[in-house]
Amino acid sequence: MSFSKVLNITCLPIINMSSKVKEELVNMLNKALELEHAAYVQYLSHAEIVDGLNCEPIIERLKEIASDEAKHQEIFRTLIGDYLGGVPSMGIAETKSAKTIQEILEVNLEDEKAAVDFYVQILKKIAQEKENLPYEYLKLEHEVRHVIMDEQEHIAELKKLLGLK
Ligand SMILES: [Fe+2]
Ligand SMILES: [Fe+2]
């Protein structure tokens, strides 16, 4: 059997598997990007409707979290475009309105938890497909883990503002 024949038999399925995996990850990361678009505008909109005594620290914190979400968008766009050869989504997930500070904090806490749950699924998928991502694995793993850690920090901060342990 010639070397090229062996090469075809052994390499072709790996290449196909790798592109299939990349496509699946692009789809997941695009959903994550749309969640980040929604989180960004939701935090900024909610920051504008907070008022009353001692509202300033809450407004400031909501805006700081929004800027973290903007950084997450950039991270996901880079992973999708530069590392997985996909096109970053311009879509946005559903946003939620809230009227009181309590509602704002609760709605965003719920969304942060949902984001962590979904990003953990992405992290698991990346780990499962390590062998198919020889030139992307560490970067993907590192960045998605970093975003999850930020969201966990947001959860801790929102819980603190809500007076929850
Ligand atoms: Fe985020
Ligand atoms: Fe967040």
Mean pLDDT of the chain: 92
Residue 12: what pLDDT? 52
Q: 128 is written with which tokens?
A: 């499962």
* Cα 12 to ligand 1 centroid, rounded to whole Å: 37
* Cα 124 to ligand 2 centroid, rounded to whole Å: 19
pLDDT of residue 10 exceeding 90: no
pTM of the model: 0.89
pLDDT of residue 5 exceeding 90: no
> 8-17, 83-92, 125-134, 142-151 — which is least confidently predicted?
8-17
How far from 107 is each of 29, 42, 75, CA to CA, in Å? 23, 10, 24
pLDDT of residue 72 exceeding 80: yes
Q: Can you give the length of the chain in residues? A: 165
What ligand is nearest to the CA atom of residue 119?
Answer: 1
When pLDDT is cut at 50, 70 and 90, the band that residue 9 belongs to is low
Q: For the chain, what percent of residues have pLDDT higher than 90?
A: 86
* Cα 99 to ligand 1 centroid, rounded to whole Å: 22
Mean pLDDT of 62-76: 98
Residue 53: what pLDDT? 86
Report pLDDT digits (tens) over 90-113.
Answer: 999 999 999 999 999 999 999 999
pLDDT of residue 59 exceeding 90: yes
* Cα 154 to ligand 2 centroid, rounded to whole Å: 5
* Cα 86 to ligand 1 centroid, rounded to whole Å: 20
Burial class from Cβ neighbours inside 10 Å (0-12, 13-18, 19+) for residue 52 reads exposed
Domains of the chain: 3-161 (1.20.1260.10)
